[in-house]
């Protein structure tokens, strides 16, 4: 863990500010948006002006959480007192919003990525936490802020999605203790599970079956790789967000230790990687300017899909030679 302020101190700074802008990472996931939504709701509850600033729409499967907290309007607050980057600690991960972030009078970083360095005027980064949402929960408690059922539900979204429904090795006793508290705070667990995991669209299932058809098993079945192109999405009238979770299907195959899923996005290739039990995909991601965690990491490759597939095939095969 690295920090230059306690969570209580950071929380109190936010309470003393008038305007707070929250910055989740690009292609925000359940943890990035859940953490931001929890913080935003809690701060608004204390009379602060708070917004989650995005440069893309909220993914459909997470939109049930956005009750007018998210905006793409860069001018929603002109000169924010505090800007907080949440679940990311590199400017490259909030891309088009970096200028706005840096316009904050005070910049704060809350994150759980072990590869993160110090970032912002004040930072609290703990790679031991399963989700940034756990850090937000602790921040609210240490600041003495009430955790309403709505806030608790957003925190649950972060924890549940970043732990793969409590399956990943980042899941700890602490994760379960926090989750037990969320239940006691009145979350609607069925609503959350249905929204997150039981609302697959037809186009999503069609995409999954097409992607599975393109899967390659490498290194005697110890690695699995597949990909999706814009053309494949267009043909199925699907969106990239319909492929969320596909990398986990690849990893779930018996005998597979490493999984890589390549996605074409804005002319670049976004690589999502997972390890099952002893592998380390962070070491691969870091080689290409990315990062994440030992068992879940990613990077972006500026090359064609064919080149990216060749590169990742080589990486996955060479992994076992080390
Ligand atoms: P996902 O595969 O779900 O997109 O990402 C898995 C993990 O790797 C997440 O914790 C995510 O934040 C991290 N990650 C994904 N892509 C990148 C990247 O390009 N750079 C960094 N530093 N981390 C990434
Ligand atoms: Mn996270």
Of the listed ligands, the closest to the CA of 129 is: 2
Q: Which two tokens stand for residue 62?
A: 């997470």
The CA distance from 181 to 184, in Å, is 5
Residue nearest to atom 3 of ligand 1 (CA): 272
At 304 the pLDDT is: 98
Burial of 180 (0-12, 13-18, 19+ CB in 10 A): exposed
At 89 the pLDDT is: 81
> Residues with beta carbon inside 6 Å of ligand 1?
29, 90, 247, 272, 290-293, 296-300
Rg (CA), the chain: 19
At 93 the pLDDT is: 86
Positions in the chain whose pLDDT score sits under 70: 115-116
Q: Measuring CA to CA, which residue among 294, 222, 298 is closest to residue 257?
A: 222
At 100 the pLDDT is: 95
Distance 79 CA to ligand 1 centre (A): 30
Reported as a single tens digit per residue, the pLDDT across 219-248 is 999 999 999 999 999 998 899 988 988 999
Of the listed ligands, the closest to the CA of 163 is: 2
Reported as a single tens digit per residue, the pLDDT across 80-95 is 999 999 999 888 888 8
Reported as a single tens digit per residue, the pLDDT across 160-197 is 999 999 998 899 999 999 999 999 999 999 999 999 99
Residue nearest to atom 22 of ligand 1 (CA): 291
The CA distance from 54 to 277, in Å, is 34
Q: Which two tokens stand for residue 213?
A: 């058809």
The CA distance from 318 to 26, in Å, is 30
Collapsed DSSP state (helix, strand, coil) of residue 263: strand
């Amino acid at each position: 863990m690295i920090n230059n302020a306690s969570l209580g101190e950071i929380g109190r700074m936010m309470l003393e500010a008038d305007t707070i802008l929250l910055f989740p990472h690009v292609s925000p996931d359940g943890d990035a948006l859940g953490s931001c939504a929890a913080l935003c709701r809690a701060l608004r509850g204390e009379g602060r002006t708070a917004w989650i600033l995005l440069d893309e729409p909220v993914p459909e499967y997470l939109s049930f959480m956005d009750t007018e907290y998210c905006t793409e309007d860069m001018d929603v607050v002109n000169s924010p007192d505090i800007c907080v980057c949440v679940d990311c600690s590199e400017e490259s991960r909030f891309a088009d919003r970096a200028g706005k972030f840096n316009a904050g009078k005070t910049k704060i970083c809350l994150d759980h990525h072990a590869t993160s360095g110090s970032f912002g005027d004040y930072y609290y980064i703990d790679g031991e936490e399963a989700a940034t949402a756990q850090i937000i929960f602790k921040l609210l408690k240490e600041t003495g802020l009430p955790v309403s059922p709505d806030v608790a539900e957003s925190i649950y979204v972060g924890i549940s999605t970043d732990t793969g429904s409590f399956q990943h090795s980042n899941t700890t006793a602490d994760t379960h203790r926090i989750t037990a508290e969320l239940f006691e705070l009145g979350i609607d667990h069925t609503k959350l599970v249905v929204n997150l995991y039981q609302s697959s669209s037809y186009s999503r299932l069609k995409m999954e079956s097409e992607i599975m058809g393109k899967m390659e098993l490498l290194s005697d079945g110890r690695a699995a790789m597949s990909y999706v192109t814009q053309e494949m999405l267009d043909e199925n009238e699907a969106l990239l967000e319909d492929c969320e979770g596909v990398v986990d299907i690849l990893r779930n195959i018996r005998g597979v230790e490493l999984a890589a899923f390549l996605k074409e996005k804005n002319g670049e290739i976004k690589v999502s990687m997972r390890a099952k039990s002893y592998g380390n995909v962070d070491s691969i991601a870091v080689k290409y300017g990315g990062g994440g965690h030992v068992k879940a990491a990613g990077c972006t490759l500026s090359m064609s899909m064919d080149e990216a597939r060749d590169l990742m095939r080589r990486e996955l095969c060479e992994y076992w030679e080390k």
